Chain A
Amino acid sequence: MIRITLGAVSKPLESLKIKTGDWGAEYPVIDEEKCIGCGECEIFCPDLCIELVERPESKKEESKKAKKVAKINYNYCKGCGICEVVCPAEAIKMELKEIYKGELK
């Protein structure tokens, strides 16, 4: 027995329950060394699943790069690849998910 609402009405944030992260075949990987923390990917991400976060103190010293770094919420990333295209530092690369790797027989 499942419960459905009249008119498919839902309350705010209920959509968070729907994890769309397994839709895509590819996923973006951020090279934190190359990331300049500009936030282009955050702006362009159509699923609002990229966020600029503070770089950990230790890594800040090491890299001497921007204070912020992009972080991806893979629960909702559909693997569209827009972030890879708009990244001015070429710090994002799309990679094929493990389950899609393998030889065609």
Chain B
Amino acid sequence: MMRVVRGFYSVAYSVKLCKPNVICAYPITPQTEIVERLAEMYANGELENCEYVTAESEFGAASILVGASAAGARTFTATCSQGLILMSEVLWNAAGMRLPIVLVNTNRSLSAPLSIWNDHQDSMAMRDAGIIQVYVENNQEVHDMIPQAFKIAEDRRVMLPFMVCMDGYKLTHAYEPVDLLSQELVDSFLPPYDPPIKLTTKNPLTFGSYATPDYYMEFRVAMHNAMERARRVMEEVFREWAEVSGRDWGGHITNSQEAETYVIAMGSLVGLVRDVVEELRKDGKSVGLIKLRTFRPFPAKELRKALKDANKVIIFERSLSLGSEPPVTLDVKSAIQKMDVDVYSLVVGLGGRDVPREVVKRNIEDVLDGKTEPGLHFEAKQFEEVIV
């Protein structure tokens, strides 16, 4: 059913179809309307066998979901930015307890300075938590990703939290035509959650127990192994989704063009970059797009394959790792080490700074024309730092 909806509704409606048992959240811009829509559905009796819990903070919201998920519930929350990093202690625990909580992160920058606008610094700060991260391009992709997220996270080979990252405002607030899924399709694709172990009052258990130095390391290695297994599980689920829904979003990365220079982009920026790349190709430039969908587990093998005949790669970064290179650049460089490819890391659009077509085009052209040196570059204004 094709409807013109906002990103919020696209997420909420998809979550509803996945029949969650516990939804718990705390409002934060630009996420709030996702859980508002879910609260509305709950109040209207559209969410059967579901508890909607309002928490006192994001820390509380994530904690409630840890309990609910341990008790065998399918759980959902949405958050971003300060809310996500307030959840971080709990989410590291959720990953270690192997609880398949699904959350939507409406990407927003981190304080200070205070900014409510979009970039990828919040989810990147959760990089090492043991949470699967997928970045979506538009509101149809996020709509389609939610049932896949539950299926992947709850797979016995995986059992890890799953974070669907969508750009705040650029997607959440945007009206887009979305083919809303049917209950029948989601039901046939996503079975009810069957927890391998379940906390009940009759069967008390400790999740995430204390591990002495004799054991701790093996638990963490087991999580790493689960992340590695998730690669295959995700590919399976992506393929199955393409079959049942008729929409093929590709694998961990998508790239279809032969080129000497590739441009890597994530999230909502992908659409614009694709458009610019098409235009440059029409002008005879050897440039192609790589859409990075999965960030954790990082698709190193796929990138090596995609870049095997390339000589330059441009990465549009929406995040920083202060004192080092940005997160995606680090992973790309690690993936293609010993390959003869120059890496151009272009940091754009932090704190909601618009990334217009001209900026994307100029940056790509400057690399193609050899005007930009390989390395890290900021699309920022000249500035001087003064005391008040």
Which A positions have Cβ atoms within 8 angstroms of B? 2, 4, 6-12, 14-15, 18
Contact = CB atoms under 8 A, between A and B. Distances in A.
Interface in B214-236: 215, 218-219, 222
Contacts, number: 48
B98 A10 contact: no
A75 B222 CA distance: 30
B218 A4 contact: yes
A39 B218 CA distance: 41
A8 B208 contact: yes
B209 A8 contact: yes
B212 A7 contact: no
A9 B159 contact: no
Given A9-B197, A18-B212, A4 B222 contact: yes
Contacts of B208: 7-9
Interface in B165-219: 196-197, 204-212, 215, 218-219
Nearest to B203: A11
Contact of A6 (B196, B206, B210, B211): B196
Contacts of A14: 206, 209
A9 B99 CA distance: 11
21 contacts: A2-B215, A4-B219, A6-B197, A7-B97, A7-B98, A7-B99, A7-B159, A7-B197, A8-B208, A9-B197, A9-B205, A9-B207, A10-B209, A11-B205, A12-B204, A12-B205, A12-B206, A15-B206, A15-B209, A15-B210, A18-B210
Nearest to B204: A12
Interface of B: 96-99, 159, 196-197, 204-212, 215, 218-219, 222
Nearest to B98: A7
A7 B160 CA distance: 10
Contacts of A2: 215, 218
Given A2-B218, A15-B206, A8 B196 contact: no
A14 B205 CA distance: 10
A94 to B, nearest CB: 25
A8 B218 contact: no
Name which of B196, B197, B209, B212 has the most chain A CB atoms within 10 A of its CB.
B209
Given A7-B99, A8-B219, A9-B97, 20 more contacts: A4-B219, A6-B98, A6-B159, A6-B196, A6-B222, A7-B96, A7-B197, A7-B207, A8-B97, A8-B207, A9-B197, A9-B205, A9-B208, A9-B209, A10-B206, A10-B209, A12-B205, A15-B209, A15-B210, A18-B210
Contacts of A7: 96-99, 159, 197, 207-208
Contact of A10 (B99, B205, B212): B205
Contacts of A15: 206, 209-210
Contact of A8 (B96, B159, B204): B96
A42 to B, nearest CB: 23
A7, A9, A10, A11: which has the most chain B beta carbons within 10 Å? A7
A2 B97 CA distance: 19
A8 B217 CA distance: 12
A4 B209 contact: no
A19 B206 CA distance: 18
Nearest to A12: B204
B156 to A, nearest CB: 9
